[in-house]
Amino acid sequence: MKPIQVTGKRKRAVARATLRSGKGIIRINQFNLRLYKPDMARMRIEEPLAIVGDVASKVDIDVNVNGGGIHGQTEAVRLVIGKALAEYDKKLKKQLLSYDRHLLVADVRRKEQRKPNDSKARKARQKSYR
């Protein structure tokens, strides 16, 4: 089987995954998924693997992720794993979409740009009358 390469983004985090046939080993930045912390992030990453069931035990997935914070990276990894599994087996696409659309489609929201001469993106400066 030819390796499948997929990329995904969430905010500033960029994840790249390579899926090959194997024994079900998932590595994130050369670390096994079982060692990934925090536990809540690991559980979010395991969601697409739980949905596809035994298909996940037939493939190895190597993910490299950088940029952003821990939650942005978690969502980016979750996205690329879902995309890679959907490309590996076309029948899984419908399952993944019905569970959560963000397993296959990137969330395009980004941080709003800060306005000139202001401290924040939205909240206006406090007015002084004296």
The predicted-structure confidence for 40-59, as pLDDT tens digits, reads as follows 999 999 999 999 988 999 99
- 106-110 long-range contacts (CB < 8 A, ≥24 apart) are 106/8, 106/9, 106/10, 106/79, 107/10, 107/75, 109/11, 110/11
Residue spans of the domains in the chain: they are 4-103
The reported pLDDT for the residue numbered 86 is 94
CATH number for the domain running over 4-103? 3.30.230.10
pTM for this model (two decimals): 0.88
Cβ atoms of 45 and 81 within 8 Å: the answer is yes
- pLDDT, one tens digit per residue, over 1-45 is 899 999 999 999 999 999 999 999 999 999 999 999 999 999 999
pLDDT of the residue at 48: 94
